[in-house]
Structure 1
Amino acid sequence: MVNAFILIMSKTGTERSVIRELSKLEEVVDVSVVYGDYDIIAKIQAETLEDLNSVILDKIRALDEVSNTSTLIAV
């Protein structure tokens, strides 16, 4: 099991919409608004690194409101 925290920048004013969409993903364990360089943090659990990559690229970055992400893999 791979645990990761994804820091997400969203387009201005779309934070709530992004959180709603992220909450629908089965891999998302928790999601919150944060202050600082990023707008949202999501905790993700995936079976493998390949699965994590797929979640990030195909599900999170695919959202129109998401402008940038940074991934922190927990060990």
Structure 2
Amino acid sequence: MVQAYILIQADLGKATEVAVAVRAIPGVLSSEDVTGPYDVIARAEAETLDELGSLVIAKIQEAPGIMRTLTCTVVHP
């Protein structure tokens, strides 16, 4: 299994809605709105790195209210 943290910048005032929407996506283990340069931090898991990439691009980035993401792959889960 491959895991990653996805740092998300959301549209102004949309962090909570984005966190809830991302949390509902299969493969996302957790999603919380936070303070700082990113608005939401999610943790996701997939069988392979390719599947993780597809999850981020095809599912997470398509959630309404997301402006930008940064994926940080976990080195030693």
Give TM-score scaled by structure 1 length: 0.93
**Alignment deviations for residues 28-55 of structure 1 (CA, whole Å, 9 cap, x no partner):** 1111112111000000011111111111
Counterpart of 2:13?
A: 13
> Which stretches of structure 1, 4 residues or longer, exceed 4 Å deviation after superposition?
none
Say whether residues 1:53 and 2:53 are aligned partners. yes
SS in 1 for 2:45: strand
Counterpart of 1:38?
A: 38
Segments of 5+ residues of structure 2 without an aligned counterpart are none
SS in 2 for 1:13: coil
Give TM-score scaled by structure 2 length: 0.90
For the aligned residues, what is the CA RMSD?
Answer: 0.9
CA distance in 1, matches of 2:13, 2:38: 13
Segments of 5+ residues of structure 1 without an aligned counterpart are none
CA distance in 2, matches of 1:44, 1:18: 15
**Alignment deviations for residues 14-72 of structure 1 (CA, whole Å, 9 cap, x no partner):** 11211121111121111111211100000001111111111111111112310001111
